[in-house]
Structure formats: structure tokens, C-alpha cells
Structure 1
Amino acid sequence: MEYKSHILFSNLLYSCVDKKQRSNESFVPEHAFGYIISGESHQKTNEGTLVFKAGTVGLVRRNQLIKSEKVPGPEGEFKSINLFFDQAFLRRYSAEHKLAPAKSYTGNPVCLLPPDPFIKGYFDSLLPYFNHPEQASDTMADLKTREAVELLLRLDPSLYDFLFDFSEPYKIDLEAYMNKHYMFNVPAAQFAKLTGRSLASFKRDFEKVFGTSPGQWLQQKRLAEAYYLIREKGQKPSEVYLDVGFENLSHFSYSFKKAFGVVPSRV
């Protein structure tokens, strides 16, 4: 295989990196079904960090805020395969098979699945298509996605609700949610969706609850947390800025100095 960092066709993704790499995206819009070939995948939510080691298979439910990091193993590389189940496909599958409505899914949104030779064989069967992407097609991807659904339901029938619960986030406590998820760097529109609001009502409710705009509050909250981690916990600015929700170190340093009158390294 001519290794590239990422090979994507249709809803199938192969990843191969030789150094630690954080995901640029914190929002998972569709269900993700993944297999770690080598290295580790660290999935950080507001509840903590789940480590997917080499040889493990996991499921991540849609509409989640997660910071993921690819960590190469002793052999020097991180490799994985991921398949994404979009809602259009799952609705079509449900209609074709005349499936009964699913119950509201209330289980863990990040699942580490037990070892299974059929699922291991399934991911092995995808590798030749990444070796020879010219042989891949949308029809093949659709067939392999259908196979993945069948294998998951065979492994654990309770995953039916995980896959086929099409309900959208309902209106929830805005203050509690934002205080738990402020460190995830996603647009206000994503926070609005995840709290069950339109963007306009999210901004309006936010102003009522916090007395300021989402952008101003998020920056103040992230900077306050960064100050605490650097001053009280002894962490380095280069270790902190991504964890609290900033995109790059220079913007973080500029904002930090503007807020506290001193650069982060001098706290």
C-alpha cells in the first residue's frame, strides 16, 4: 500500500499517521464504526477519556462532542479503518427492511465492542480496497455498509436502538450543558443543535442565562480554565490551549495576555 495519511472513499476512511495527531473536528455528526489496526485512539469526552487499543472495535454515536487523538504504537504508526453510517442510509435501510420504530437510545454514546472474528474479518476485507482504491465504488461501499449493520445487530441486538433511533436532541438545560462542554471548539450552530435549539433561540437563551454572547462567554471561560491549569496545576501553555478549546497557540497567547496582562508562560 502506498501509505497516505488518510484515504477516503464514500463513507469509508483509512488513516495512517506516524506521529501523534489530534482531530481538527470535535463534533461527530454521524455514527462511526471503527477498528484500530495499530497504535491507540484516545477519545476524550466531558466524562473522561476512553482508549481504543490495537485490535479493538468501537462505536461512537452521532451528535457527540469528542476530542480524538491518534497515537502511534511501538511499531511507529497509527492505523485505523472507520465507517460512517449517515442518517439517510439508515432511514433507507429501515424502510427497505420494514423495521419497527426504535426506542429512544439511552445507552453509552461511545461503545467498546467485544472481540468478534466476523467483525475482524469484515475490516480485513476492506483493506484491499484501500490498497487498490481504483477498484472501489459507491455500490461496493453501500454493500459493505449494509454488511456492517448486519454484523453489529448479530453481535448485539441492543444496538438496534443505537443505530435506528432517529430522534434529534431535545431542548435541555443550557447552563448545565455549556458548563460541561465549553472546551469543545465547535461553532455556535453545533451547540444550538445539541441543546435542542435553533441558532437564534440558542443565542437568545444564552444571553438570558449568562448575560453575554456565546463567543464572549466561551473565550472568558476557556481563558479562566487555562489560567487555572497553568498557575495551579503547572501545565505548559502548549499542553493547555487545545484542551480548553483554542485552535492555535498564537491566538491563545494573544487572548491570554489581553485578558490577564501577561503571557501564559509568565504566569
Structure 2
Amino acid sequence: MTHSTELDISTADIGNATRTFQEKKRTSLAGTSQERVAELTTEVLTAIHDVIRRHELTYAEYDALKAWLIKVGQDGEWPLFLDVFVEHAVEGVATANRPGSKGSILGPFYVPGAPRAEGEITLPMRADEPGTPLLFRAHVRSADGTPLPGAQVDVWQSDADGLYSQFAPGIPEWNLRGVVIADGGGRVAIRTMDPAPYQIPHDGATGQLITAAGWHAWRPAHLHFKVMADGHQVLTSQLYFTGGAYTDADVASAVKPELMLDPTPAADGAGNEVDYDFVLAPI
């Protein structure tokens, strides 16, 4: 796999993530009590106040923080910042007691409505799509081992330059995005290309923070999935590659040991292949 170095997702492109999020069905706090809101808000503010006091924050640093928070909004990077630095903790709490496969963060690049196929799909791609072919086979089953025919497996990924369709210019709309419906045995097959490690957008406010802190902006190569079946909880996951760059230093802290793939050379000699089980928790 190659590393993306020049063709990185930009702040302008990540603005699509903000628009996509805003177009989703709004999440309401109507079911959350005033006591819960007060408790969470008080604890967050108390933690911030504690950091200020312990580190004797100066007014210059405070003003820099205000300016940076404003810039995050102006750059449309709140989905990016929260998905990279916060979502992994929310996901861990939300799924801590769920049986079945481990999940991971959704991230900012999911787009519903990708082309669909039954049983097997070759993801839409350019005629000269760069990279190494990958055949991904999966068995979708319930936590009790029962296969789940008709399960929907939504997959999306970056290309060999670390870029996502609909979030970078010059890439066809549904490039390397698709939905495959499991066959009667709960099995799917996806023909695609190896993804690449990439840097999250770092020319805006989020990158400004990363640079100031001396961190790196890299994510390891991964495939994204949303797996759905009637009567079961939705599984959102990212699958990574054994030995891949940045799997031990993901800027989004989303890698888990259970999410590693170890492809082998394909039987037909065309690239690599790998098998995986998606185990869904009943509702």
C-alpha cells in the first residue's frame, strides 16, 4: 500500500461532511431529562475549569482558544474534529455491552444511497483505478450463529491516494462505494482495491491544532462498513490491515485488535483476498 503525500483531503472538501451531517435527520434531546443535561454539562465545564486552574491558563492562551474554536466552525470542521478526537470514546461506551463483532467509528465520509447488488459486488471504480485488487468475503450472522440472509452490507473506502469520492474533486460520485445484500447463506463478496493510509484534512483548524501539538494527521488504511439486518442492531465498523502503517498510532484512536485483516494472495492470482465474519447483536 502507498502513502498519500500530496493528494490529501482538504479543508474545502471536508465541508461536504458538515453539509451531509446537517442534512441528516436531526437528533433531538427531547428524551433527555433536564437533570441529565445539567449533570453532563456541569461535569464538562468543571473539567475545563480544572484544566485552566491546574495549568494556569493565560489570557493569551484563552484568546487563542476562542479564535481557534471560531475557526473550526468557519472551516466547517466540527464533524471532522469530533469524529477524529471524540467519537471513538462515544462508540466504546455505546457498544461496551453489545455481543457480536466489535464496532468502530462512523467517521465523516459516509454517504447513503450507494449502488446496490445481490450477493456479490464489484465496487464502482475508474477503468484505470490504481492499487492492488482485493476480494473481501464476509459471512453475516446473528450472535447465536444463525446466518442472516438479506443482510445489507454498506461499504466505502478511500482510493490508493487516500481520497474519498464526494469529498475530493475529480473522482466519480460513487467511486469505491457500494451496498451488497447477503445471499441465502448470509454471505457477501466485495471486489475492490486496497485502500491507502491518508492524512485527515490538516490545512484548516484541526490541522492547526495537530501542528501546534506536534502530532501527526495519519489514519491507517481501512475499509468502512455499516451492516444491517432485520431484528438486529446496526454494526458500524472499520477494518484495518495487519502490519499496516499507523495501525499503532491512529490519529482517530479507532483501531482495535478485533478489527484487523490479514489478506493472502488471491487464488486467481489477482491481488489479495480475505475472509471476515460480521456477527450482529439482536435488538
TM-score by length of 2: 0.23
Higher relative contact order (CA 8 A, sep 6+): 2
If the length of structure 1 is used for normalisation, what is the TM-score? Answer: 0.24
- More helix by proportion, 1 or 2? 1
